[in-house]
């Protein structure tokens, strides 16, 4: 089987699969807990993962808009990602795709994987030879070693864990958390860590969410792609980076818009006029509280300078989150300047 291309047949699906990868002795080992999920309302699909393994991002999570998400771990067969997405792209459900992957893998007993398709079908597999504690959940259904468990909405799984509490906490938190898919995935991962996580400790983490046309300039689906390569506290670092990503890559929530009145305009004009702050004066006019064309242009230039690109506006409003960050950074600079 190892040197022969495989044609897999499930009801309604005929797909050519590449030859199986080499034995697990040559595969990377990622002791990991992860959750793959889909938002059926807006089509978001993603994976959150933490591992006692460096740079987990290019190994475990595989995501495609309109298709699904896959987490492949333990003794990793990376082809599960490419082949699994191809199977679902060609019509297989998450369960069908995962069954094909494990049935055509002679090292299936050291593999662990979770899959969710764009319709919310989910499946999780844990091989009998995965190191304890190991198991998974799909939707609300639990599965231990040697059991392919299925459900709806998400697949959560882990190996070399302190106990099953990690997977249970991920599932419970994902179900009970409000917000976007990314918010729920991250909350679930953090809860898994607090419930015990990997019994060998932490090292790397990643959060990947795809959304149609939600990339930086609207030409890709790369909504969120955050990786912590090697860190003493990767989960805390992932949360910090996610908050940073939201500020610089998420577009303005209309509920966060503030009208630039006279008082706020004076504050902004004074800051934009302070040449010592950034080494250049963005605004050279009077600090008079009038939000005229020159003040607006200065604010737009400053926001571009500070990388708030996707929140630059062409009216008399400003994003509250951007304003808070501008104020915080300016206050920090003045405080540090006063100490010199």
Q: What pLDDT, in 10s, does the model give residues 174-214?
A: 999 999 999 999 999 999 999 998 888 899 999 999 999 99
Report the C-alpha gap between 67 and 58 in whole angstroms.
19
Reference 293, options 314, 268, 270, 324; nearest CA is 314
Q: What is the pLDDT of residue 121?
A: 98
pLDDT confidence bin for 301, thresholds 50/70/90: very high
Q: Using one digit for the tens of pLDDT, what is the confidence trace for 245-288?
A: 999 999 999 999 999 999 999 999 999 999 999 999 999 999 99
The top-level CATH class assigned to 6-249 is alpha beta
The Cα 81–Cα 36 span in angstroms is: 12
What gap in Å lies between CA 134 and CA 128, rounded to an integer?
9
The answer to whether residue 10 scores a pLDDT higher than 80 is: no
Q: Is 179 helix (H, G, I), strand (E, B) or coil?
A: coil
Question: What is the model's pLDDT at position 31?
Answer: 64
DSSP-derived letter for residue 270 is: H
Who has greater pLDDT, 171 or 14? 171
pLDDT above 90: percentage of residues in the chain? 87
Q: What is the DSSP string of 41-56?
A: TT--EEEEEEESSS--
Q: What proportions of the chain, in percent to the nearest 5, are helix, strand and coil?
A: 35, 25, 35
Confidence band for 21, pLDDT divided at 50, 70 and 90:
very low
Q: At residue 224, does pLDDT exceed 90?
A: yes
Give me the pLDDT at residue 28, please: 55
- Taking 90 as the threshold, does the pLDDT of residue 9 lie above it? no
Query: For residue 170, what are its two tokens?
Result: 């991920």
**Cα 328 from chain centroid (whole Å):** 27
337 pLDDT tier (thresholds 50, 70, 90): confident
Average pLDDT over residues 218-230: 96
Q: Looking at the predicted structure, is the pLDDT value of residue 29 above 60?
A: no
Q: Whole-angstrom Cα distance, residue 242 to residue 93? A: 30
Q: For position 109, what pLDDT does the model report? A: 97
Q: How confident is the model at residue 30 (pLDDT cuts 50, 70, 90)?
A: low
Dihedral sign, Cα of residue 148, residue 153, residue 157, residue 162: negative
Residue that wins the pLDDT comparison between 100 and 15 = 100
For the chain, the domains span 6-249, 254-339
User: At residue 107, what are phi and psi to the nearest 5 degrees?
Assistant: -105, 25
Question: What is the rounded average pLDDT of the residues 81-100?
Answer: 98
pLDDT at 318 over 70: yes
């Amino acid at each position: 089987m190892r040197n022969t291309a495989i044609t897999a047949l499930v009801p309604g699906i005929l797909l050519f699969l590449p030859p199986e990868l080499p034995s697990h002795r040559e595969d990377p080992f990622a002791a990991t807990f992860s959750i793959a999920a889909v938002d059926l309302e807006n089509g978001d699909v993603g994976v959150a993962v933490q591992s006692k393994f460096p740079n987990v991002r290019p190994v475990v999570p595989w995501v495609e808009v309109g298709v699904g998400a896959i987490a492949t771990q333990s003794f990793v067969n990376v082809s599960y990602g490419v082949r699994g997405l191809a199977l679902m792209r060609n019509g297989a459900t998450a369960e069908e795709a995962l069954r094909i992957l494990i049935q055509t893998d002679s090292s299936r007993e050291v593999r662990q994987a979770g899959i969710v398709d764009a319709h919310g079908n989910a499946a999780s597999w844990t091989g009998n030879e995965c190191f304890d504690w190991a198991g998974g959940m799909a939707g609300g259904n639990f599965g231990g070693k040697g059991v392919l468990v299925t459900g709806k909405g998400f697949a959560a799984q882990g190996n070399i864990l302190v106990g099953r509490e990690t997977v249970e906490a991920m599932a419970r938190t994902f179900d009970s958390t409000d917000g976007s898919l990314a918010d729920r995935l991250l909350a679930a991962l953090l809860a898994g860590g607090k419930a015990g996580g990997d019994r060998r400790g932490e090292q790397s983490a990643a959060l990947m969410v795809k959304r149609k046309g939600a990339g930086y300039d609207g030409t890709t689906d790369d909504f969120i792609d955050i990786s912590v390569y090697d860190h003493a506290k990767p989960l805390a670092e992932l949360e910090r980076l996610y908050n940073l990503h939201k500020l610089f890559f998420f577009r303005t929530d209309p509920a966060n818009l503030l009208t630039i009145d006279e008082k706020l305009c004076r504050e902004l004009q004074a800051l934009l006029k302070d040449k010592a702050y950034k080494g250049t004066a963005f605004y050279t006019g009077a600090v008079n509280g009038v939000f005229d064309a020159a003040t607006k242009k200065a604010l737009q230039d400053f926001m571009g300078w500070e990388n708030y690109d996707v929140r630059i506006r062409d009216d008399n409003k400003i994003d509250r989150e951007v304003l808070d960050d501008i104020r915080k950074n300016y206050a920090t600079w003045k405080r540090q300047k006063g100490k010199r």
